Amino acid sequence: MSDAPQLLRWETLTKKQFDRIDPARAVVMVTSSPMEVHGPHLPLGADALEGEGLAERVLRFLPDVHRDRTFLKLPFVYAATDVVPQRGSLHFRPSTNVRLLTDLGHTLAMQGFHHIFVSNFHGGPRHFLSIEKACRRVNRRHGIGMVSLFSLLIRRLTNGTSELDDVLGSLPGVNRTDLEGDTHGGLVETSQLLALHGDWVDPEHKHLPRQTVSTWLESNGEAPRGSAQDGPRSVLRVLRHYRGAMRFFNEQTYSGAPAGASAELGERILDTLAGKAAEACAELLDGKIGPGDCHSPIWKYRFLFLNPVMMRLSEWAIGHRNSIG
C-alpha cells in the first residue's frame, strides 16, 4: 500500500492555495460529534477526537486510484444531541444540527464540491439521524454526495446497534464478553483514545469496574433490553434501549469495560474500522453506491426520533428530564 493521501486542514490554507484545488476531485471531511462526558477518565471531546481519528485513518486504506484526490479537513462541529445529561456535556436540539450541516453542505456545494464525508463516533440515534437528514436535504437540492460515514458503517457492520462485538470480537487482546454493552467510554473508546491521544486519558481507567445499561437495569429489578442477536432491530427495541440508556446515564457516565483497554488494541480497532470505512468510501467515489445507500437501519423511523412533539411525548412517558438542556 502506498503512502496515504495528503490531508489539508481547511483553516490553514491561503486563498492562493485554495484556488489551486479542483473541487470536483476533492473530498471534504468534517466530523460532527459532541462535547460529552465519557466516564471519569476520558476527555470530553472523545467522540469528536475519535471521529476525526477514524476519518484520517480511512485515507491509509483507500485504493490507489483515489490517492491523487485532495482531501480537505474542516474543524469539527460539536453541535449534537443525545448527550450524557451531566455537567460537562453540551446539548443541542436535533434541529440545530440539521440546520448547521445543511448550511455547511449548501455552501460547499455552491463552491463546486461534489463529495462531503461527515464523520462521527456518537451513537445517539437523534444525532446520527439528524446528520442523515441534513445530508439528504443537501443531496436533493444540489445532486451531490454528502453522506454520514457513521450511519453507513452501522448499516453494514452492526445492523443499527452501537455495539461492535461481531466486528471486533475476534481481534487479538479482546475478550468478547467485554464488548457486550460496550457503548460509551468502555473498552473500545478508551482503547481508541489511548492510541490517538494517550496523554489525555486518566490512567485510573485501569481500575474502573465493568458496568452496562443491561446490568444496571437488572440490578434495579428491571428486565434487560433484547440481545443484539435477537434478529433485525425493531423500532420498539430501539426505543426501549433509548429509554433505558437515558435513565442509566442520569446516574452513570460510562457503559463497558475500560479497564481492559490498551493503545495497542486501539490501533487494531482503528485499523479495522478504517479499513471497512475505506471500502465504503471507495464505492461511493467509484459510483458503485449512492447517498441513498448510506442511511442507517433506523432511518425509516426518523419521524419518531426527530419530530419534536413525538420526542417530548416519549420523554414525558418515561419521566425523563434533561438536566443540562
Reported as a pLDDT band with limits 50, 70 and 90, residue 137 is very high
Cβ–Cβ under 8 Å, residues 124 and 38:
no
Average per-residue pLDDT for the chain: 89
How far apart are alpha carbons 124 and 242 in whole angstroms?
8
How far apart are alpha carbons 168 and 266 in whole angstroms?
11
Residue 27 pairs with which residues in a beta bridge? 71, 115
CA distances from 55 to 105, 140, 203, 245 (A): 18, 24, 26, 27
Residue 2 lies in a domain: no
Cβ–Cβ under 8 Å, residues 196 and 42:
no
> Can you give the pLDDT at residue 239?
62
Residue 270 lies in a domain: yes
**Mean pLDDT (whole number) for 45-70:** 95
- DSSP class of residue 118 equals E
Residue 324 lies in a domain: no
pLDDT tens digits, one per residue of 209-224: 999 988 888 887 775 5
Give the CATH number for residue 255: 3.40.50.10310
Residue 1 lies in a domain: no
Residue 235 lies in a domain: yes
> Can you give the pLDDT at residue 156?
86
Residue 191 lies in a domain: yes
pTM for the structure as a whole? 0.89
Residue 325 lies in a domain: no
> Can you give the pLDDT at residue 22?
96
Phi, psi of 228 (to 5 degrees): -70, -15
pLDDT tens digits, one per residue of 72-113: 999 999 999 989 999 999 999 999 999 999 999 999 999 999
Picking from 98, 91, 77, the residue whose alpha carbon sits closest to that of residue 28 is 77
Picking from 242, 231, 244, 250, the residue whose alpha carbon sits closest to that of residue 301 is 242
Percent of the chain with pLDDT over 70: 86
CA distances from 48 to 12, 30, 36, 185, 214 (A): 20, 10, 9, 13, 26
* DSSP H stretches of helix in 176-262: 187-197, 213-219, 235-251
Question: Treating both helix axes as pointing N-terminal to C-terminal, what angle do 263-286 and 187-197 enclose, rounded to 10 degrees?
Answer: 90
- The grid cell for 67 is 490517492
Is pLDDT of 229 > 70? Answer: no
Domain housing 274: 7-318
Residue 311 lies in a domain: yes
Domain count, the chain: 1
Residue 304 vs residue 29, higher pLDDT: 29
Percent of the chain with pLDDT over 90: 68
- Please, which contacts does 195-202 make with residues 24 or more away whose CB atoms are closer than 8 Å? 195/53, 195/263, 195/264, 195/265, 195/266, 195/267, 195/269, 195/270, 196/49, 196/50, 196/53, 196/266, 196/270, 197/43, 197/49, 198/263, 200/42, 200/43, 201/41, 201/42, 201/43, 202/40, 202/41, 202/42
How far apart are alpha carbons 73 and 7 in whole angstroms?
7
Question: Treating both helix axes as pointing N-terminal to C-terminal, what angle do 263-286 and 149-157 enclose, rounded to 10 degrees?
Answer: 100
- C-alpha 75: how far from its chain's center? 16
Reported as a pLDDT band with limits 50, 70 and 90, residue 305 is confident
> Can you give the pLDDT at residue 167?
79
- The grid cell for 50 is 475519535
